[in-house]
């Protein structure tokens, strides 16, 4: 019996193997397909193609799945060879480099196809007239280069379609409403038309997609109102329409969408008040209405959305006392953005009960009072923006906030106006802000000097202290902060000289080992600086900030140090409107990444170094209103700027200025002087010192000995007398000989 059982297992295995072995015609088609494409990741060598990587077969040996995502495929889709795989149900060529168009004939033979994913390729041209297979359920053509309009007949035969994604292309025309007709695609659950160039209104018809769960049409050029029948899609879980030109009010009927978890209407023109019964959307997790024209108070029912994770209503015209709202019910809240509105009151104490909060944005409102100690209960707080309000007691706020160990970004600019910069005496035993990456105290009109406690922020990368009344010199320790690469001290009253230590900032010196250790930290909320009327948008990752040193509009004097050429990663250098004198260091030409360079309104002299012509990435350049002279160096870059970038220097000549230069043979010598003058300036005091020292040593080395030793003194004077007698004898003898010759 044992032998019989073994024979049975062996026989069964052989039969099973034969059943799943691929058809020779299928194997031939696959090899033909592989030969037409360039790929280093296909290793199809065995006899049975059903065992090849990315291939699945049915029991009859027909290929049903061809799954080759991220395999480095390059070339056009070989329709002739793939068209022979008539039993194919799943086709995935995503994340490759396929190009060309979609051939209608290719699809005609694949009438059993259910899943098609060609996303993240280089496919182009227009879409075919229709999807010629009725079994298709999922179509993903996102992140390609398709253009033109979607034909009205495209979905006529796709009666079983459940998911359709054409996001991130350049498709134009209207978003097709025919897709939701009952005889076309009644089972649709996902529609994604985002990041294209669709325009016009959203036509009615969406309401007929009774199974629709996800609808995305963000980042297009849509206008008009939301179609009323969209509120009939009661199974909708996500609506994403950001970055369009849609307008009108948000209908009260939105509460019909009881399954809605994400509603994103960011950056449109919606107006009016929020629906009073918005709180009936109890499943809501993400509510994003920022950058619209909404007005009125926040409906108290909003606090009934107890599943909210992100609430973003910034940049509207909302108002009311937010301290009256009960945020404590939003136990899952992680991000709150109410910036740039007209809210009044104080920071809601109930907000401190939201222990999961990571980001709070309240800047640009009419809030007042002081920062309460309860904020320390928010152990996960990473982002805090309270600027441009009416808060007071900056020193008290900083003393508390320095204990927030998770805090990465702190924006207080525009608040605490007219107070003093927290001094070292105020911040005794300072040990906080150990993880702070960004500090913004702009536009507070703060008085005092740059305090020493800032030197302990070893993780600080970005520092905004502009538009204050800060006095005193730039501290030398600022150049020792290991991660700092963005410094803005413009529009203060800073005096003294440019510290050479600032020229050794590790993140601005070309040191790959240091730069590679800095991870790309991402800001929790969109980052802006400035007032509500004219905010400046900043990158969402600190790594995307342009390395910058802005000391403009201060009282800094002295020479620009030659060591500034060490800051090779610097992209912006603004020293304008100060009292710098001397020449422009030739070493600035080492700043090969420089994009913005401004030395205007100083007292600089000499020529513009010829080497500045090698700065190929300059977008802004200004040396106006100095005392520069000589020709402007000839280069495509410098001559591309307006004459205003050089005006106020009467002795400058050459394009783009109208006055032409006369021939001057001393130009090269002057340029050499610009290179060497800093060395000369440093060597000149040493020359005088050594000269004086030599005189002192020589004088006292001789005279001192004569004064001290009497015998040496007599011998010295006797030696002088002998020399004098001999010299007199020689002169008298020469005169007698001359007289004899004349006689």
Distance between CA atoms of residues 266 and 525, nearest Å: 13
Distance between CA atoms of residues 59 and 224, nearest Å: 54
pLDDT bracket for residue 728 (50, 70, 90):
low
The dihedral through the CA atoms of 312, 528, 485, 588 has a sign that is positive
Q: What is the predicted pLDDT for the residue at 529? A: 75
- Whether 143 has a pLDDT exceeding 80, the answer reads yes
Decide: 415 and 443 in contact? Cβ < 8 Å. Answer: no
pLDDT tens column, 667-688: 454 555 555 544 444 444 544 5
Distance between CA atoms of residues 437 and 538, nearest Å: 14
Looking at per-residue pLDDT, the higher value among 185 and 644 belongs to 644
- Whether 286 has a pLDDT exceeding 80, the answer reads yes
- Please give, one letter per residue, the 3-state secondary structure of 274-334: CCCCHHHCCCCCEEECCCCEEEEECCHHHHHCCCCCEEECCCCEEEEEHHHCCHHHCCCCC
The arithmetic mean of pLDDT across residues 77-83, rounded, is 80
Q: What is the predicted pLDDT for the residue at 156? A: 81
Q: What is the predicted pLDDT for the residue at 649? A: 96
pLDDT tens column, 376-424: 999 999 999 999 999 999 999 999 999 999 999 999 999 999 999 998 8
Least confident stretch, 150-154, 280-284, 624-628? 150-154
pLDDT bracket for residue 168 (50, 70, 90):
very high
Q: How far, rounded to the nearest angstrom, does the alpha carbon of residue 487 sit from its chain's CA centroid?
A: 16
The arithmetic mean of pLDDT across residues 482-490, rounded, is 96
pTM of the full structure: 0.84
Q: What is the dihedral of CA 605, 609, 612, 614, to 10 degrees?
A: 180
pLDDT tens column, 519-558: 567 888 888 877 666 777 787 888 889 999 999 999 999 9
pLDDT bracket for residue 696 (50, 70, 90):
low
pLDDT tens column, 292-329: 999 999 999 999 999 999 999 999 999 999 999 999 99
């Amino acid at each position: 019996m044992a032998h019989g059982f073994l024979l049975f297992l062996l026989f069964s295995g052989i039969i099973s193997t034969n059943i799943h072995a691929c058809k020779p015609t299928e194997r031939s088609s696959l090899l033909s397909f592989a030969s037409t494409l360039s790929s280093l990741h296909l290793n199809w060598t065995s006899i049975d193609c059903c065992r090849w990587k990315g291939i699945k077969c049915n029991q009859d040996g027909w290929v049903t799945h061809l799954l080759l995502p991220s395999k480095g495929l390059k070339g056009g889709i070989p329709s002739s060879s793939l068209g022979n795989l008539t039993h194919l149900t799943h086709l995935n060529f995503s994340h490759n480099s396929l190009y060309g168009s979609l051939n209608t004939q290719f699809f005609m033979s694949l009438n059993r196809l259910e899943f098609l994913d060609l996303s993240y390729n280089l496919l182009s041209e227009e879409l075919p007239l229709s999807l010629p297979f009725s079994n298709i359920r999922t179509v993903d053509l996102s992140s390609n280069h398709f253009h033109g309009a979607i034909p009205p007949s495209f979905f006529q035969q796709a009666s079983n379609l459940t998911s359709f994604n054409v996001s991130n292309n350049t498709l134009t025309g209207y978003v097709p409403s025919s897709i939701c007709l009952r005889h076309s695609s009644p089972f649709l659950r996902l529609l994604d038309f985002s990041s294209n160039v669709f325009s016009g209104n959203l036509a009615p018809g969406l309401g007929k997609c009774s199974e629709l769960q996800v609808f995305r049409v963000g980042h297009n050029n849509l206008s008009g109102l939301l179609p009323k029948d969209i509120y009939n899609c009661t199974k909708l879980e996500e609506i994403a329409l950001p970055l369009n030109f849609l307008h009108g009010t948000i209908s009260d009927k939105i509460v019909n969408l009881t399954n809605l978890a994400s509603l994103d209407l960011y950056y449109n023109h919606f107006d009016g008040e929020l629906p009073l019964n918005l709180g009936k959307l109890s499943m809501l997790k993400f509510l994003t209405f920022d950058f619209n024209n909404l007005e009125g108070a926040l409906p108290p029912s909003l606090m009934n959305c107890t599943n909210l994770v992100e609430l973003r209503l910034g940049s509207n015209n909302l108002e009311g006392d937010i301290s009256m709202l009960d945020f404590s019910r939003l136990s899952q809240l992680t991000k709150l953005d109410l910036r740039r509105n007209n809210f009044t009151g104080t920071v809601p104490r109930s907000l401190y009960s939201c222990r999961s909060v990571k980001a709070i944005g309240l800047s640009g409102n009419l809030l007042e009072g002081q920062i309460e100690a309860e904020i320390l209960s928010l152990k996960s707080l990473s982002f805090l923006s309270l600027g441009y309000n009416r808060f007071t007691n900056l020193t008290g706020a900083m003393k508390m906030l320095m204990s927030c160990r998770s805090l990465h970004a702190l924006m207080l600019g525009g608040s605490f106006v007219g107070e003093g910069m927290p001094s070292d005496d105020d911040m005794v035993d300072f040990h906080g802000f150990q993880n702070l990456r960004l500090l913004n105290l702009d536009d507070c009109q703060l008085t005092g000097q740059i305090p020493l406690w800032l030197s302990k922020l070893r993780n600080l990368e970005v520092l905004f202290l502009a538009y204050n009344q800060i006095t005193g010199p730039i501290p030398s320790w600022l150049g020792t902060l290991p991660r700092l690469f963005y410094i803005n001290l413009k529009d203060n009253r800073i005096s003294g000289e440019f510290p050479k230590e600032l020229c050794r900032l590790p993140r601005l010196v070309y040191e790959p080992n240091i730069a590679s250790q800095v991870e790309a930290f991402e800001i929790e909320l969109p980052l802006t600086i400035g007032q509500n009327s004219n905010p400046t948008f900043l990158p969402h990752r600190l790594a995307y900030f342009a390395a910058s040193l802005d000391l403009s509009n201060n009282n800094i004097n002295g020479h620009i140090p030659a060591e500034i050429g060490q800051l090779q990663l610097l992209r912006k250098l603004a020293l304008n409107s100060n009292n710098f004198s001397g020449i422009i260091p030739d070493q600035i030409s080492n700043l090969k990444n420089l994009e913005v360079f401004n030395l205007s309104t100083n007292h600089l002299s000499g020529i513009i170094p010829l080497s500045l012509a090698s700065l190929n990435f300059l977008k802004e350049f200004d040396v106006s209103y100095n005392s520069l002279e000589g020709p402007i160096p000839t280069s495509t870059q410098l001559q591309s700027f307006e004459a205003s970038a050089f005006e106020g220097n009467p002795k400058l000549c050459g394009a783009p200025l109208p006055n032409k230069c006369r021939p001057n043979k001393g130009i090269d010598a002057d340029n050499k002087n610009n290179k060497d003058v800093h060395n000369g300036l440093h060597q000149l005091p040493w020359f005088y010192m050594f000269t004086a020292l030599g005189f002192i040593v020589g004088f006292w080395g001789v005279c001192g000995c004569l004064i001290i030793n009497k015998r040496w003194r007599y011998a010295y004077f006797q030696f002088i007398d002998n020399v004098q007698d001999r010299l007199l004898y020689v002169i008298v003898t020469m005169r007698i000989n001359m007289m004899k010759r004349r006689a």
